[in-house]
Amino acid sequence: MKTLTVTVISAIALLFSFAAQAGQAEKEKTMHEMHAMMRMMDNALCQALEGANLMMFGQMSGADKIDRDMIERGTTMVNDGKAVILKMLAGSEMKAMHKEGGYNDKVMHDLHALGDRMLHVIEEVEKLHGEAFKEMGKK
């Protein structure tokens, strides 16, 4: 009887151990995914800001033909950078992650707060370079 009890308790402990390991692996997987998303967002913000620089330079450089190319390329980079951040924050991967759960709540909260601020920065830049967007239509 004692042996049976020990065996059953060991089996239960082993099952809990496997469950805990599976939970840990799931947490590490979602943490890795969130880090990958942040990496993409960092890159997208840099791209958008670099694009804004091109737009600004295109507006003031005086190199007629290249100016238009710079403004066009800059506009594309700003729009693409913004789209990547939006996709990371609300795209299919993020939706799946929220559906499946198992992620670190604080890191997820911070990731969304960071993304919202990144979008705010890009929107401010868009406002500042709004003239370039208008110029795009005229040239």
- Interface residues with Cu ion (CB under 5 A)? 94, 108
| Identity of the residue, 31 or 108, whose beta carbon is nearer to Cu ion in the bound complex | 108
Smallest distance, Å, CB 33 to Cu ion? 10
The percent helix, strand, coil of the chain (3-state, each to 5) is: 90, 0, 10
| Identity of the residue, 40 or 136, whose beta carbon is nearer to Cu ion in the bound complex | 40
Smallest distance, Å, CB 136 to Cu ion? 34
DSSP state of 78: H
Smallest distance, Å, CB 35 to Cu ion? 13
| Identity of the residue, 54 or 88, whose beta carbon is nearer to Cu ion in the bound complex | 88
Q: Using an 8 Å Cβ cutoff, are 102 and 27 in contact? A: yes
Smallest distance, Å, CB 117 to Cu ion? 15
Longest dimension (CA), the chain: 92
CB within 8 Å of 136: residues ≥ 6 apart: 71, 72, 75
| Identity of the residue, 70 or 88, whose beta carbon is nearer to Cu ion in the bound complex | 88
